[in-house]
Structure 1
Amino acid sequence: MRRAFAPWSDPNAKPLISFENITKRFGDAVAVDNLSLNIFEGEFFCLLGPSGCGKTTLMRMLAGFEQPTAGRITLAGQDLAGVPPYRRPVNMMFQSYALFPHMSVEKNIAFGLKQDGLPKAEITSRVEEMLRLVQLERLAKRYPSQLSGGQRQRVALARALAKRPKLLLLDEPLGALDKKLREATQFELMDIQHELGMTFVVVTHDQEEAMTMADRIAVMDQGHLAQVATPGEIYEQPKTRFIAEFVGDVNILEGNVMGQENGLWRVQTPSADAPLTIDDPDEVLHSGQAVAIAVRPEKMVIQRDPPGPNARNVLTGEVWDIGYLGDWTVYRVKLASGAILRVTRANASRFVENPIDWDEQVYVTFAPNAAVILAE
């Protein structure tokens, strides 16, 4: 069902959230610069980027904690200008969780409902529903100090969901969790979002977190949108060098376009003896143009023996470093040009006879369709 969910590709679909030419300045500093973006109902949307790129400022404007310097934000067709945070059908889950230490789990969850004046029976029913949803029924009477980091995170999520907002904003929601718990919680958040059919917008600087959870990702850079696309498109078809380098690991080979041959671009690079051949039909290039070739480490093949005479994209170098990560082995290969390649190989079997070792001469190859040409 998640794979079939793609309202952004339907020209007749109306967005739940629209940022229209939004600019936000703090004095002379521009945090968000003339940004336009649509987010659709039921979407798990991620704002991704390095610190200071403007992603948190954008979320805070949506929540009502900051006001745009220019432009407008609409939610379900309503212009949010002048609408205070407590009047917006939005809840925000903060990185710190901000739980009340003197209240039990169930009282923390019920707090916002009591503030809204809901009947006692409805409050009880919703708290029970939220406890079941986040699987904390046994811990309802405990206090935050008696909970683990993951359990506190679930309480904060339950409290944010209890008011049934149209939109839930999550600011670095998993930053305080350890790696294993963070990975498990990513899938729990996806399941909860899918079960409730609610719209989630999450801010993170963690690429893996964004790639795992989001239907779409907006990569931000210095207040601008660098690219908005699905995780697969962001990873496999980055539009700029910044995106290729920021999302995942990548090898960048500098070169100059020589022209096309049989539908493939030929690129001369100091990293290889022969021109590289790249299958990237989306690019419009001209001879002599300086470009960067981006190749992900897992799309490269490393071997001791010279490849056959018909092999394309052959790079020769020496194994500089080896890192064993359990599921993957990472090789850092130094080319004659001085460039360092990162090549990964899956450890599909427990034991490898005569494995590639440090200081060995090796050949690295990749298919023409494994690379992307970046003109920016």
Structure 2
Amino acid sequence: MKSLGSIRREFAPWNDPNAKPYIAFENVTKRFGDFTAVNNLSLSVYEREFFALLGASGCGKSTLLRMLAGFEEPTAGRILLDGQDLRGIPPYRRPVNMMFQSYALFPHMTVEQNIAFGLKQDGMAKPAIEQRVKEMLDLVKLTQFSKRKPHQLSGGQRQRVALARSVAKRPKVLLLDEPLGALDKKLREETQFELMDLQQELGLTFVVVTHDQEEAMTMADRIAILDKGEVMQVATPAEIYEAPASRFVAGFVGNVNMFEGTVAAREANTARITGASGAEIVVENAGDAAAGNSVAFAIRPEKIKVSSRRPEGAANAMEGEVYDLAYLGDMTVYHVKLGDGQVVKASALNSARQTDDPLTWNDRAWISFRPDAGVVLTR
């Protein structure tokens, strides 16, 4: 069985026509004066899903999260949670908790007091609070730091305290607004996997807002790409990366090379594209592109091979010159300038310590790729 990328877990209720969304944004619009932050947006999130809202600043992702939390009300449309319309329900009465980027911990309270705060507000009995706090400390591996105050903790430890406090009340949905933005790169990468494991252990629905592509790709079951308050594509990380729905999505997520051209011929699922850097490109993932259509052929750098000689039998090959080169340890990145001036980015995994075909600046080089290596985009 072939699949677009590795399958992280056997969980895909969105593919079941009988499955009902747990969270539903139905034709939601949010305006602030003359500015439209969210524009007639519809979106579904399923129970126990780790869902990411990904986009640049100002795309509307945080506004969506705030409306779900109850801090903002939609100008039009409605938001449903487990079938209930949330309009008019204040934040403290929604089965939703939100974890902010700043963590918002009480500086004068210890770790265990911070975790217990919301439980006390709800009037939970003291023995039950103590038991719940103990469970949360064990869950986030902070038992030995229970008596410390926030300023005595590292950034990663404070993040885990905020997370424990957020899930202590056992909300149906946990909202995370740029939750790892304050952490350094290495700690952020470690925490991404911790969050994934914790979400599956708790069985909660997580909705995370981020502008970090790697963060969304690592953690989420599905990603919604947003731009100017509208949804550009909703799909799994592998589908977003390997089968983007548009030029915008292809260019926004990861690195990509775009060859603009015209479909000269179409047969079954294969298309021949001309006008792209003066060469004909044979593509097997032609989608719904018809002969005569103006299209873009999108291909990721790692799908392109660079060599000093033209590869024998290659269906797609173009000659150019090594314009730039970067050795990054685990991979080498090449920028190859083609005859028409287009610079193509290619990356090669350094699986061996030595190479039989070394290339350097200003060398003549060939780029080549398989017919199934990229996709045709009509919009």
TM-score by length of 2: 0.96
Q: Which residue of 1 aligns with 2:20?
A: 14
2:372 aligned counterpart, secondary structure: helix
Among candidates 345, 356, 374, match of residue 371 of structure 1: 374
Among candidates 236, 246, 255, match of residue 242 of structure 2: 236
Q: Is 2:359 the partner of 1:345?
A: no
Q: Which residue of 2 aligns with 1:110?
A: 116
Q: Which residue of 1 aligns with 2:290?
A: 285
Q: Which residue of 2 aligns with 1:96?
A: 102
Q: Which residue of 1 aligns with 2:134?
A: 128
Q: Which residue of 2 aligns with 1:67?
A: 73
Relative to structure 1, is the Cα distance of residues 198 and 270 closer, same or farther in structure 2, using a 3 angstrom cutoff?
Answer: closer
Q: Is 2:232 the partner of 1:226?
A: yes
1:151 aligned counterpart, secondary structure: helix
Partner amino acid, structure 1, of 2:339: A
Among candidates 190, 193, 202, match of residue 199 of structure 2: 193
2 CA distance for matches of 1:270 and 1:32?
A: 36
2 CA distance for matches of 1:264 and 1:129?
A: 56
Give a deviation string over 1:215-253, Cα, whole Å, max 9, x none: 111111111110011111111100000000011110011
2 CA distance for matches of 1:186 and 1:116?
A: 30
* Kept in 2: contact 1:332–1:340 (CA 8 A): yes
Partner amino acid, structure 1, of 2:355: V
Q: Residue 324 of structure 1: CA displacement?
A: 1.6
Q: Which residue of 2 aligns with 1:152?
A: 158
* Kept in 1: contact 2:310–2:317 (CA 8 A): no
Q: Which runs of 5+ in 1 are unaligned?
A: none
1 CA distance for matches of 2:276 and 2:375?
A: 18
1:121 aligned counterpart, secondary structure: helix
Give a deviation string over 1:2-57, Cα, whole Å, max 9, x none: 52111111111111111111000111111111111111100000001111111110
Among candidates 325, 335, 339, match of residue 338 of structure 2: 335
Q: Which residue of 2 aligns with 1:360?
A: 363
Relative to structure 1, is the Cα distance of residues 270 and 5 closer, same or farther in structure 2, using a 3 angstrom cutoff?
Answer: closer
Query: Which 10-residue stretch deviates more, 296-305 or 7-16?
Result: 7-16
1 CA distance for matches of 2:158 and 2:358?
A: 46
Give a deviation string over 1:58-103, Cα, whole Å, max 9, x none: 0100000010000000111111000000010000000111111111
Relative to structure 1, is the Cα distance of residues 324 and 43 closer, same or farther in structure 2, using a 3 angstrom cutoff?
Answer: same
Q: Which residue of 2 aligns with 1:40?
A: 46
Q: Residue 269 of structure 1: CA displacement?
A: 2.3
Partner amino acid, structure 2, of 1:69: T
Partner amino acid, structure 1, of 2:51: F
Q: Which runs of 5+ in 2 are unaligned?
A: 1-6
- The root-mean-square deviation of aligned C-alpha atoms, in Å, is 1.3
Percent identity for Structure 1 against Structure 2: 62
* Kept in 2: contact 1:323–1:329 (CA 8 A): yes
Q: Which residue of 2 aligns with 1:80?
A: 86
Give a deviation string over 1:281-302, Cα, whole Å, max 9, x none: 4223232x22111000000000
Query: Which 10-residue stretch deviates more, 258-267 or 2-11?
Result: 258-267
2 CA distance for matches of 1:339 and 1:195?
A: 48
Count of matched residue positions in the alignment of Structure 1 and Structure 2: 373
Q: Residue 336 of structure 1: CA displacement?
A: 1.3
Q: Which residue of 1 aligns with 2:305?
A: 301
Partner amino acid, structure 2, of 1:11: P
* Kept in 1: contact 2:270–2:283 (CA 8 A): yes
Give a deviation string over 1:255-288, Cα, whole Å, max 9, x none: 111112575211112414x31111124223232x
Q: Residue 326 of structure 1: CA displacement?
A: 1.6
* Kept in 2: contact 1:270–1:337 (CA 8 A): no
1 CA distance for matches of 2:262 and 2:289?
A: 14
2 CA distance for matches of 1:264 and 1:42?
A: 39
2 CA distance for matches of 1:26 and 1:262?
A: 48
2:132 aligned counterpart, secondary structure: helix
Q: Which residue of 2 aligns with 1:165?
A: 171
Partner amino acid, structure 1, of 2:273: V
Among candidates 257, 265, 276, match of residue 259 of structure 1: 265
Partner amino acid, structure 2, of 1:56: S
2 CA distance for matches of 1:150 and 1:195?
A: 20
* Kept in 1: contact 2:308–2:357 (CA 8 A): no
Relative to structure 1, is the Cα distance of residues 187 and 119 closer, same or farther in structure 2, using a 3 angstrom cutoff?
Answer: same
2:116 aligned counterpart, secondary structure: helix
Partner amino acid, structure 2, of 1:68: P
Q: Is 2:316 the partner of 1:313?
A: yes
Runs of at least 4 residues off by over 3 Å: none
1 CA distance for matches of 2:345 and 2:257?
A: 7
Q: Which residue of 1 aligns with 2:4?
A: none
* Kept in 2: contact 1:90–1:165 (CA 8 A): yes
1 CA distance for matches of 2:195 and 2:268?
A: 47
